[in-house]
Structure 1
């Protein structure tokens, strides 16, 4: 397994942070939306973001420094 360069690891870390923020926003906004088609699109975004985060976390494990990746994911306020 190849180790990432430090700058690559930091860029992946930034992408993980950004995707986590987008995921939290999509989950929160679902509770404010009444249009079912828009809700479905937002749910698809949530599912794709979760997959993207899983992929990024797998890459981040190759970072040259040790930093734990949290396992917690945002939970919806309203279902």
Structure 2
């Protein structure tokens, strides 16, 4: 599996949880104190994020980072 596939799958899992919380990308990015454009690129699978960033996103979503990884089949 290549890097872009991994990032894309993770972005889809992240977006699913954000939408379930009924939050816009702007609002969620504010909640986790991340720039909206950077967060948006995570959801689009354009970023190879660090473990720290994954943890911040997962915490904001109220899930474990491992749950996001599992949902992305990684």
Normalised TM-score (structure 1)? 0.30
Structure with a larger share of its residues in helix: 2
Larger Rg: 1
Normalised TM-score (structure 2)? 0.32
Higher relative contact order, structure no. (Cα contacts within 8 Å, ≥ 6 residues apart): 1
